């Protein structure tokens, strides 16, 4: 299912959803997000004891963000039971290692925080209802979480249920969730390999074969955990549409194959959210000529177009349709496309 950004929801709701009234409590009288966590951890029935422990063990920037009066954040806060469930799932030793690793802990905590404003559950539910029930929400960690409207009218975040919504703070809002959500740690190369080996629904078998037959620099880039790239990944069906004879010839020509694969890579992270968030980029992407993005193939840009169709947001790259967006990886993001992109001759 195609995922849409929260910004799309916001743009739609400006025209159909009236502004909600402010709570009676003055904003200045509300506690900060950090104070909410501290207060809950010391309450008669504590709920965020382990969350507070994690925040205190992480990079100080996490606590600073939750304490800053200038923040405007949405926090998906796991309960103590959620942390204990994670401990049971991964084992006490691995759980202790996470708590002792400030870098990993910081990444996990920031994955629970959205920085594009405080999003109330009623706004989310109304917006989700309008765009097919799923959005891709960018987090402070850099990757995006899947926010989904359930058949029962509830909300899940990467599969975790929102069990208590709309705890307001002076610098944001908290939605309590029943599981700890984890960012992707696999590289793009690892995701492609695992998808190709999926016994039930292999997806990137031909793409993997192409990467393995190309210049080794392609695989090195996709395997580099420090890279930040966007890959427009053709499905096996997209490669099959090229024709068996043509595909065989391309796979046998390393130089040509390498240039084609490089044409599917943008040397930066590009999401629908980032395009729509930038007025100039959004105007270009929605215009007749589209948005030009430099690919990793020098001198050969890609053309991105964004529109609104009957089923919501539509995105094309050259003549290919983006059929799945925002498949996160540790070193970038994958957008799945239904055609192979060929550089102009």
Q: Which domain holds residue 297?
A: 188-337
Same domain, 99 and 240: no
Please check whether residue 345 lies inside any domain of the structure. no
Report which of 251, 260, 236 is spatially closest to residue 345, judged by C-alpha positions: 260
Please check whether residue 234 lies inside any domain of the structure. yes
End residue of a domain, out of 147, 177, 207: 177
Average the pLDDT over each of 9-13, 25-29, 46-50, 157-161 and give the range with the smallest value: 9-13
CA angle 230, 268, 140 (to 5 degrees): 90
Same domain, 248 and 141: no
pLDDT at 258: 98
Please check whether residue 344 lies inside any domain of the structure. no
Which CATH number do you get for residue 264? 2.30.180.10
Same domain, 202 and 121: no
Q: How confident is the model at residue 296 (pLDDT cuts 50, 70, 90)?
A: very high
Same domain, 167 and 279: no
Please check whether residue 343 lies inside any domain of the structure. no
Same domain, 243 and 331: yes
pLDDT at 274: 75
Print the SS3 string covering the chain: CCCEEHHHHHHHHHHHCCCCCCCCCCHHHCCCHHHHHHHHHCCCCCCCHHHHHHHHHCCHHHHHHHHCCCCCEEEEEECHHHHHHHHHHHCHHHHHHHHCCHHHHHHHHHCCEECCCCCCHHHHHHHHHHCCCEEEEECCCCCEEEEEECCCCCEEECCEEEEEEEEEECCEEEEEECCCCCCCCCCHHHHHHHHHCCCCCCCCHHHHHHHHHCCHHHHHHHHCCCCCEEEEEECHHHHHCCCHHHHHHHHCCHHHHHHHHHCCEECCCCCHHHHHHCHHHHHHHCCCCCEEECCCCCCCCEEEEEEEECCEEEEEECCEEEEEEEEEECCEEEEEECCCCCCCC
Please check whether residue 112 lies inside any domain of the structure. yes
Report which of 311, 338, 319, 262 is spatially closest to residue 3, judged by C-alpha positions: 311
**Size of the chain in residues:** 345
Same domain, 26 and 57: yes
Same domain, 115 and 198: no
Same domain, 318 and 235: yes
Report which of 14, 2, 9 is spatially closest to residue 129, judged by C-alpha positions: 9
Give pLDDT tens digits for 136-152.
Answer: 888 999 898 989 999 89
End residue of a domain, out of 156, 177, 198: 177
End residue of a domain, out of 119, 148, 177: 177
Residue 28 has pLDDT above 60, yes or no: no
Token couple for 10 = 């916001």
Average the pLDDT over each of 21-25, 185-189, 200-204 and give the range with the smallest value: 21-25
Cβ-based burial of 301 (10 A; exposed 0-12, middle 13-18, buried ≥19)? middle
Across the chain, what does the average pLDDT equal? 88
Cβ-based burial of 247 (10 A; exposed 0-12, middle 13-18, buried ≥19)? middle
Instruction: Tell me if 114 sits within 8 A of 140, measured CB to CB.
Output: yes
Same domain, 168 and 206: no
Please check whether residue 342 lies inside any domain of the structure. no
Instruction: Tell me if 338 sits within 8 A of 235, measured CB to CB.
Output: yes
Q: What is the CA radius of gyration of the chain?
A: 22
Residue 335 has pLDDT above 90, yes or no: yes
Measured CA to CA, the distance from residue 246 to residue 313 in angstroms comes to 33
Same domain, 321 and 200: yes
pTM (two decimals): 0.81
Give pLDDT tens digits for 251-278.
Answer: 999 999 999 999 999 999 998 877 877 8
Please check whether residue 284 lies inside any domain of the structure. yes
Same domain, 10 and 158: yes
Give pLDDT tens digits for 53-91.
Answer: 999 999 999 999 999 999 999 999 999 999 999 999 999
Count structural domains, the chain. 2
Same domain, 36 and 95: yes
Residue 100: how many other CB atoms lie within 10 Å: 10
pLDDT at 26: 56
Give pLDDT tens digits for 207-260.
Answer: 999 999 999 999 999 999 999 999 999 999 999 999 999 999 999 999 999 999
Please check whether residue 146 lies inside any domain of the structure. yes
């Amino acid at each position: 299912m195609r995922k849409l950004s929260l910004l799309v929801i916001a743009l739609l709701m400006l025209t159909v959803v009236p502004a909600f009234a402010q709570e009676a409590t003055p904003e200045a009288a509300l506690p900060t997000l950090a104070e909410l966590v501290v207060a809950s951890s010391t309450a008669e029935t504590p709920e965020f004891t382990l969350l507070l422990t994690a925040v205190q063990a992480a990079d100080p920037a996490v606590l600073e963000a939750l304490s800053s009066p200038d923040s405007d954040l949405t926090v998906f806060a796991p309960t103590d039971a959620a942390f204990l469930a994670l401990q049971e799932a991964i084992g006490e030793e691995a759980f202790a290692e996470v708590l002792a690793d400030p870098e990993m802990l910081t990444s996990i905590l920031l994955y629970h925080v959205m920085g594009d404003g405080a999003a109330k559950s009623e706004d989310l539910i109304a917006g989700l209802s309008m765009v097919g029930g799923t959005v891709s929400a960018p987090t402070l960690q850099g990757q995006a979480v899947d926010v989904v409207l359930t058949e029962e009218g509830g909300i899940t975040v990467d599969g975790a249920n929102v069990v208590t919504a709309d705890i307001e703070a002076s610098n944001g809002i908290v939605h309590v969730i029943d599981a700890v959500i984890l960012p992707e740690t696999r590289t793009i190369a690892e995701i492609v390999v695992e998808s190709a080996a999926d016994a039930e629904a292999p997806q990137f078998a031909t793409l993997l074969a192409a990467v393995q037959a190309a210049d080794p620099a392609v695989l090195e880039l996709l395997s580099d955990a420090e890279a930040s790239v966007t890959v427009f990944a053709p499905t096996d069906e997209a490669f099959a549409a090229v024709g068996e004879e043509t595909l065989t010839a391309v796979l046998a020509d390393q130089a040509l194959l390498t240039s084609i694969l490089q044409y599917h890579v943008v040397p930066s992270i590009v999401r629908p959210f980032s395009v729509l968030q930038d007025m100039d980029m959004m105007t270009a992407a929605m215009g007749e000529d589209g948005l030009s993005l430099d690919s990793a193939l020098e001198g050969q840009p890609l053309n991105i177009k964004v529109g609104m169709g009957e089923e919501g947001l539509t995105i094309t790259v050259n003549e290919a349709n983006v059929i799945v967006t925002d498949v996160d990886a540790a070193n970038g993001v994958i957008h799945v496309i239904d055609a192979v992109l060929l550089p102009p001759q």
